[in-house]
Amino acid sequence: MSEAPVGLLTSAASEKLLADRRVQNVPTPWGDAQALTGRIGGREAAVVLRYGEGLTIPSHRINYRANIWALRELGVRQVISQNAIGSVNPSIRPGDIVISHDFLDRTKSRTLSLFEDEDCWVRVDMTEPFCPQMRATLIAEASKHSERVIGRGVFVCTEGPRFETPAEIRALQLEGGDIVGTPLVPEVVMAREAELCFASIAPVINYGAGMAPAVVHFGPGSMNDVYYTGGLHDLVEKSIIDSVQALSAERTCHCGHGLKGGFHGKRPEWLRRCSLDEPE
Residues that bind Zn ion (CB under 5 A): 131, 133, 197, 253, 255
Nearer to Zn ion, 179 or 255 (CB): 255
Q: Which is nearer to Zn ion, 35 or 131 (CB)?
A: 131
- Of the pair 107, 133, the CB lying nearest Zn ion is at 133
3-state helix/strand/coil string of 209-256: CCCCCCCCCCCCCCHHHHHHHCCHHHHHHHHHHHHHHHCCCCCCCCHH
Q: Shortest approach of Zn ion to residue 279 CB, angstroms?
A: 21
Q: Which is nearer to Zn ion, 12 or 253 (CB)?
A: 253
Max Cα distance, the chain (Å) = 58
Nearest distance, CB of residue 90 and Zn ion, angstroms: 31
Q: Which is nearer to Zn ion, 148 or 192 (CB)?
A: 192
Closer by beta carbon to Zn ion, 142 or else 172: 142
Supply the minimum distance, in Å, between the C-beta of residue 58 and Zn ion: 29
Q: CB 263 → Zn ion: shortest distance, Å?
A: 19
Beta carbon of residue 52, minimum distance to Zn ion (angstroms, whole number): 28
Give whichever of 133 and 239 is closer to Zn ion, judged by the CB atom: 133
**Least spacing, CB of residue 29 vs Zn ion, in Å:** 24
The DSSP result for the chain, as a single string, is -PPPPEEEEES---TTTSEEEEEEEE--TTS-EEEEEEEETTEEEEEEETTTTTT-S-GGG--HHHHHHHHHHTT--EEEEE--EEE-STTS-TT-EE--SEEEEE--SS---TTTTSSEEE----SS-S-HHHHHHHHHHHTTT-S-EES--EEEEE--SSPPPHHHHHHHHHTT--EEESSSTTHHHHHHHTT-EEEEEEEEEEEPTTSSS---SSSTTSHHIIIIITSHHHHHHHHHHHHHHH--SS--SSGGGTTTT-EEEPPPGGG-S-GGGS--
Q: Given the DSSP bridges, would you call strands 149-150 and 197-207 parallel, antiparallel or unpaired?
A: unpaired
- Closest approach, Cβ 192 to Zn ion, in A, equals 9
